């Protein structure tokens, strides 16, 4: 199928029209809510690497009493009746003294610099089940757990399972390959490190608003291009009635918030679909500039998670990345991951519903089920390497 694209500018709005096979015209709706160009950004979520400061500023070191409180709350999920983490709620995981601190941490993540680390949980000294229970319990205090794949996994495992990174149906976190700066399809992503790599595997974070300000300075025309929808591959996880890709801008300006949704590898692999609108040379230039600035050491920060570290990152304001790594021979790098929808987060434009299922604050995001009927699980043994 041959697809042509024509752009019409009407009243400062960009309307994209597509003609396929000379017989049908489609307006790829650039929704009014998502097409506005954002003004220059300011606030705590706008930072370059030198602004972020010493790790002590964004690291919460757990005290012995705080660790004891977490271990006590997790006991029913280790020794007692509550074995299934999939249905965990804050009420099932009482944290009388830590609960308020977690709400303040959540606020810093969603309305502050966009990330936080909790350090000092003794994952080396407790079972994997207990670490998972503590992590899920903290997640339940921050928000609701969301599915991370079409199978309904609420507890994700980030490790190299030997998957082929060039396979368009493979998610990159299942390999040891360097990722690229991207966002996950949920409000907040959390990682708990259970095992470090022999080499590499560093976590990188960058502020989307800082990238936007820089692009606006260097080339306002390319900055505007980032507010047009591009095709992003669903990597084989296609909900009922949806296309195998979705159309969404890298940046949206809605309700006074600049929001990013980006995964370059998935934009590139969407080219495999004949009916996906092609990437124009202008879009490619804009994405290349976005990636170039994100990869500049003056814009991103780098951290290496230690065993027991929990990192929480706001996907709407920051992009994250992970460097390539080499596993230890008998204990491969292993992180648990949570995707969370959080109740005090920003409004998202309606166009996000095609990826997030709904834009309802506190009940959105995650990968929607392929068959429509989603069963959730929090399996400690999911995604085990062959």
C-beta of 223 vs 270, nearer to Fe ion: 270
CA pair distance 155, 135, nearest whole angstrom: 9
C-beta of 70 vs 188, nearer to Fe ion: 188
DSSP 128-165: HHHHHHHHHHHHHHHSEE--SSTT-BSSEEES-----T
- Contact segment (CB under 5 A) with Fe ion among 43-51, 60-68, 182-190, 285-293 equals 182-190
Binding of Fe ion by 309 (CB under 5 A): no
> What is the nearest approach in angstroms of Fe ion to the Cβ of residue 316?
14
- Which residue is associated with the tokens 């259970």? 194
C-beta of 184 vs 383, nearer to Fe ion: 184
DSSP 14-78: EEEEEEETTTEEEEE---HHHHPPPPPP-STT---HHHH--HHHHEEEPPHHHHHHHHHHHGGGT
- Contact segment (CB under 5 A) with Fe ion among 7-15, 136-144, 183-191, 243-251 equals 183-191
Q: Which of residues 43-102 bind Fe ion (CB under 5 A)?
A: none
# of chain residues touching Fe ion (CB under 5 A): 1
C-beta of 74 vs 174, nearer to Fe ion: 174
- Contact segment (CB under 5 A) with Fe ion among 143-151, 181-189, 270-278, 304-312 equals 181-189
C-beta of 189 vs 223, nearer to Fe ion: 189
Beta-carbon contacts of residue 300 (< 8 Å; ≥ 6 apart): 49, 181, 204, 205, 206, 294, 321
Give the chain's end-to-end CA distance (angstroms, integer): 39
C-beta of 184 vs 233, nearer to Fe ion: 184
- Contact segment (CB under 5 A) with Fe ion among 32-40, 178-186, 222-230, 298-306 equals 178-186
> What is the nearest approach in angstroms of Fe ion to the Cβ of residue 196?
18
> What is the nearest approach in angstroms of Fe ion to the Cβ of residue 191?
9
Strand ordering across the sheet containing 203-207: 301-303, 203-207, 318-322
- Contact segment (CB under 5 A) with Fe ion among 14-22, 120-128, 177-185, 201-209 equals 177-185
> What is the nearest approach in angstroms of Fe ion to the Cβ of residue 184?
4
Q: Comparing C-alpha atoms, which of 244, 211, 215, 247 is closest to residue 231?
A: 247
Binding of Fe ion by 237 (CB under 5 A): no
> What is the nearest approach in angstroms of Fe ion to the Cβ of residue 380?
20
C-beta of 131 vs 148, nearer to Fe ion: 148
> What is the nearest approach in angstroms of Fe ion to the Cβ of residue 245?
18
Alpha helix (H) ranges present in 326-377?
Answer: 353-356
Binding of Fe ion by 184 (CB under 5 A): yes
Torsion angle, alpha carbons of 266, 269, 273, 274, to 10: 130
Contact 231, 273 (CB under 8 A): yes
Q: Which residues contribute to the site for Fe ion (CB under 5 A)? A: 184
């Amino acid at each position: 199928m041959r697809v042509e694209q024509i752009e019409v500018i009407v009243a400062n709005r960009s309307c994209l029209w597509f003609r396929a096979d000379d017989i049908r015209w489609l307006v790829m709706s650039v929704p009014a809510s998502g097409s506005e160009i954002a003004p220059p950004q300011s606030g705590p979520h706008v930072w370059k690497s030198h602004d972020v400061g010493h790790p002590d500023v964004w690291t919460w070191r757990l005290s012995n009493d705080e660790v004891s409180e977490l271990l006590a709350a997790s006991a029913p999920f280790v020794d007692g009746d509550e074995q299934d983490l999939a249905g965990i709620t804050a009420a099932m995981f009482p944290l009388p003294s830590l609960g308020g601190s977690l709400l303040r941490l959540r606020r810093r993540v969603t309305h502050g610099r966009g990330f936080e680390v909790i350090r000092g949980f003794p994952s080396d000294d407790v079972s994997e089940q207990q670490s998972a229970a503590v992590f899920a319990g903290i997640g339940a205090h921050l928000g609701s757990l969301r599915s991370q794949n079409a199978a309904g996994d609420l507890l994700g495992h980030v490790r190299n399972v030997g998957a082929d990174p060039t396979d368009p149906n493979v998610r990159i976190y299942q390999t040891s390959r360097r990722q690229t700066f991207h966002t996950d399809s949920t409000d907040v992503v959390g990682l708990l490190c259970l095992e470090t790599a022999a080499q590499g595997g560093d976590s990188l974070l960058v502020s989307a608003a800082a990238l936007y300000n820089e692009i606006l300075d260097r080339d306002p025309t390319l900055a505007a291009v980032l507010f047009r929808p591009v095709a992003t591959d669903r990597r084989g996880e296609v909900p009922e009635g949806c296309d195998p890709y979705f159309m969404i801008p890298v940046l949206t300006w809605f309700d006074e918030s600049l929001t990013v949704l980006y995964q370059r590898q998935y934009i590139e692999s969407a080219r495999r679909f004949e009916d996906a609108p092609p990437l124009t040379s202008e879009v490619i230039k804009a994405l290349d500039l976005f990636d170039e600035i994100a990869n500049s050491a003056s814009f991103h920060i780098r951290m290496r998670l230690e065993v027991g570290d929990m990192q929480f990152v706001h996907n709407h304001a920051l992009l994250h990345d992970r460097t390539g790594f080499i596993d230890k021979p008998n204990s491969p790098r292993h992180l648990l991951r949570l995707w969370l929808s959080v109740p005090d987060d920003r409004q998202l434009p309606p166009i996000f519903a095609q990826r997030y299922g709904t834009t309802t604050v506190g009940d959105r995001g995650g990968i929607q089920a392929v068959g429509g009927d989603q069963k959730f699980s929090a399996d400690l043994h999911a995604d085990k390497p062959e």
